[in-house]
Chains A and B, each alone.
Chain A
Amino acid sequence: MSSAFYKKNTRFYLALLIPAFCLYCLALIGPLFFGTVPSSFYDWNIIKAKRNFTGFENFAELIHDKQFLTSLFFTLKLGVVTVTLNNIIAFAISYFLNENVFAKGFTRSMFFMPNTIGGIMVAFIWCFLFTNVLPKIFSAAGLESMASISWFGSGSMAFITIVAAAVWTGSGFLMVLYLAGLQNISADILEAGEIDGCTGFKKVILLQLPLLMPTITINLFVSIAGAFKSFDIPYAMTGGGPAGVTNTIALNIYKDAFSTYNMGYACAKSVVLFFIVMAITCIQLRFTRKKEVQL
């Protein structure tokens, strides 16, 4: 698209955004800035029906809240691991699917299918695998030490179960985007590179990855935000257990708001989460955008 053409029609393009933007304001920006943010300055328990303005007290309390810090650390850990694994696995799958593999369409949809299953169902499937299927397979294979692993009995094992489910369901979507990105790379460039001796692993690192940067930007953005909001899989797999060590921030906020009814405090946590995610994504966008190559 030439930039002159783009400039001429800028207004039209912006006008196209208006309906979506209005809906977005109504459903998201409104509640966020007129509900969540103001409420975070109140000591507000929904069943006590009292709302006392306490200024930044909720935020001050957060710093000393062990559960919140545990869940923040857990979410960061989960984020780093799932974002990395999701993207590496998704790229690897899409790389091989981009080559001429057998039954390409079928294989592609098989890898994408987990993404169409709801988080709660995914959690049930993996719970079943970890508690019923894996121990039986291991003991049939004579690996008693593996069969007796308690997958939900310790924080580190429970973490692995959540990561497995999250990666299984999350990588399919990223794979589709990577695949689209790979197919968009002009065959001429790759051919020219190959003639110059850039083949195999070198081709991936020096040609395909740099040209994929726009896709990587989007994929990292989607997966980072997703990881920070992760709720359904940990909720249904471990319920935050054992002893609350697998609580994500979202789960922690939910419990505060609807189990102990501490709505004001929960809103303060949401606001903090909002700023954390914003900071991380802004840094990530700046970083990856810089690496994008203009052809």
Chain B
Amino acid sequence: MHKQIKMITAFFLTAAMTAGLAGCSSPSSDSTQTTQAGQPAQTNQADQTSQAPEESKSTDKVDITLAVWTSSSAAALEEAQNTFNNSQDKINFKVEIQADDYAQYLGAKTVANDLPDLFYLNPYSELKQYAKNGYLLDLSDQPFASKIYDSTKEGVSYDGKIYGYPSTVEYWGLFYNIDVFEQAGITELPTTFSQLEDACEKLKASGITPFAATYKDSWTCEQVFCALYAAAMQDRLPGWIDDMNAGNSTFTQEGVDKVFRFIDLMKENSGTNYMDSDASAGYNSFANGDAAMIFLGQFALRSARKVNQDIQLGMLPIPISDNPEESKIMCNTGVGIVVNPNGKHVQEALEVLEYITDNTDGVRNWTIIMLDDVGGAMPSIPVKMQNVVNEPFYQTASQYIADGKTMGKISNQLNSGAMEIIKGVVQGYFADMSSQEEILNQLDEQILKLAE
């Protein structure tokens, strides 16, 4: 008897210890709701009304919420929100920054059929998935649809219709410190791989680390790999992505050696203990002039400029081979702003979206507030920027985008889940834990499984 009590106690104590973990998945207790999630329309309305009845009564304004993921642009978001609220008295527009993991927030909201009026989504596979399940309003007839650049449409379209506003176009390349390059005597900018090798030698001779290491953060390895892989594939990329998503291709393609040759060059030229350096350490060493180049997206420049106000920033397209024509930059629609078709005030949400997509000259609109700064992404509609246009790196990037010398980001275009896989696998090559062949096999094995 006594023994039994002990065993039962042990059982419950163990449950207590592990249930903390199991609790992570507690949204699943709403499982009945989830099974009906295919038709989110009916249950939602009541929730929406009960959400903010007091405020709307007292001010006679309609509340419209835009959920966004955490970013360093909180001040800009607030300005953009207030600009709209001051311009009219019908709608109370609220930007909700999700401090926690955005994917987790969105997952829980989706399960509970309680999506906000407007929200950020990752373009490509995630946005398509939401569109397919009827969570998004068809925006093909909205005024912005005719204004956005063609190259940005792919990321926000599903089945020929536009479901989101691509509010940013992020871009990746080799950003460099202009003064440091001059100091090392690099007069001609490297446009081919061998010129880049020479530049690295010159930098090292002047006691400067050529590349800022960020590889402790696996997402930086993933972004570098995606940019290099796209560069190595050139025009074969879109077809390859379709084949991979159908489960009929492999990462082992002609030219893939160039990807690993480039990573080897980075490893040799990133200083000692480069695996111990995370993104913020990398931003710092780049900003302080300890490292000459950083291979990441434009967002890295915001931190660099914050640390060092005087840093002069230039950009090199990725010199993957010895043919300068193959040097391009990687672009990716970074944010898709989408509308919840089951929100209570869809019409008002569309009015807010119209404000967000406004590109009238001479107006300090959403795009200028959000993007016109070092580290800001490119807009997807023609907007006259004022500050950032004077930066050399921005001029290079705009030129390449205008010339169409861009490539897509594979981790966003491959089936959902690919990014997480690439992060984990590719870091192994940076850390000298796996060979080129092993990396390619692991990628094939795990990513082709997503096609099932």
A residues at B contact (CB < 8 Å):
24, 27-32, 34-36, 38-39, 44, 46-51, 67, 130-131, 135, 148-155, 221, 225-226, 228-229, 231, 238-245, 250, 253-255, 257-263, 266-267, 270-271, 273-274, 277-278, 281-282, 285, 289
Contacts and interface: CB of A to CB of B under 8 A. Distances in A.
B273 A278 contact: no
A36 B27 CA distance: 9
A124 to B, nearest CB: 11
Given A239-B217, A241-B218, A242-B430, A47 B110 contact: yes
A253 B18 CA distance: 13
B1 interface: no
Interface in B198-230: 216-218
Contacts of A238: 216
B130 A47 contact: yes
Given A35-B29, A51-B34, A278 B23 contact: no
A105 B110 CA distance: 52
A225 B34 contact: no
Given A32-B15, A239-B218, A270-B21, A49 B37 contact: yes
A89 to B, nearest CB: 22
B13 to A, nearest CB: 7
Contacts of B53: none
A281 B14 contact: yes
B20 interface: yes
A278 B19 CA distance: 11
B234 interface: no
A245 B129 CA distance: 31
A51 B31 contact: yes
Interface in B239-255: none
Nearest to A256: B420
Contacts of B24: 253-254, 257, 270
Given A155-B433, A243-B424, 19 more contacts: A28-B20, A31-B28, A32-B22, A35-B22, A39-B25, A49-B38, A150-B274, A240-B424, A241-B424, A241-B431, A242-B218, A242-B433, A261-B416, A263-B28, A267-B25, A270-B18, A274-B18, A274-B19, A285-B10
A76 to B, nearest CB: 15
Nearest to B14: A278
Contacts of B133: 47-49
Contacts of A35: 22, 25-29, 31
Contact of A241 (B22, B29, B216, B274): B216
Given A49-B34, A243-B427, A259 B25 contact: no
Contacts of B189: none
A184 to B, nearest CB: 21
B276 A243 contact: no
A161 to B, nearest CB: 10
A136 B275 CA distance: 17
A67, A131, A221, A243: residue with the most chain B Cβ atoms closer than 10 Å: A243
Contact of A228 (B6, B18, B103): B18
Contacts of A242: 218, 275, 427-428, 430-431, 433
Contacts of B363: none
A267 B28 CA distance: 9
Interface in B254-275: 272-275
B392 interface: no
B21 A253 contact: yes
Given A30-B29, A49-B38, A131-B277, A24 B16 contact: yes
B17 A229 contact: yes
B197 interface: no
